[in-house]
Amino acid sequence: MRRKDREITDRTEIAALLGRAKVYRVAFAVAGEPYVVPLSYGYDPEANALFFHTARAGKKIDCIEANPRVCFEVEGRVEVKEGDERACSWGVRYESVIGFGTISELVSPEEKDRALACVAEQQAGRSMQWTTDEKAVSGTRVWRIDIESVTGKRSFVPETT
């Protein structure tokens, strides 16, 4: 990382950002062609994994089958820092995480149920009582990204609590 002064080195801060964001972008690469898609997700810090679901078929599935290695990006706070009439006087304050991992499909009903509960809780912002709709789950594919590496970066001083 070129700007070491902006690096988030505390793994707890990186985990907190992964745990509070609602959308991440997953980048696939197949036959030299990139494909990036925003997805809702759930983060499990104990498993060091991200979870998402898809339909039974589609471009994401084709990409996963061709190359399960991915890059992902999550952003937290983003604020425009206004300046004057000069374009270079403006800026952006931000925090983000970029990571790499490998996708695998969850197939057992128990694994899928736990992963979908993780997604639901992340999206709701709270723990929830989860009830499985077997018909809906059977038509859904559920995926896990095992996080292999992450880096965090920000351009503001974090708030203290």
Indicate the domain borders of the chain.
4-154
CATH for 4-154? 2.30.110.10
pLDDT for the residue numbered 22: 92
CA distance 62 to 101: 17
Say yes or no to pLDDT of 44 above 80.
Answer: yes
Label residue 4 by pLDDT band (50, 70, 90).
low
As a whole-number percent, the residues of the chain with pLDDT over 90 amount to 48
CA distance 35 to 72: 11
As a whole-number percent, the residues of the chain with pLDDT over 70 amount to 87
Mean pLDDT on 49-64: 93
> Average per-residue pLDDT in the chain?
86
CA distance 6 to 2: 9
Comparing 8 with 28, the larger pLDDT belongs to: 28
Closest CA to 76 of 24, 2, 118, 36: 24
Say yes or no to pLDDT of 9 above 70.
Answer: yes
- Both tokens assigned to 57: 């078929």
**Best mean pLDDT range from 19-23, 85-89, 97-101, 131-135:** 97-101
pLDDT for the residue numbered 124: 85
Mean pLDDT on 73-96: 82
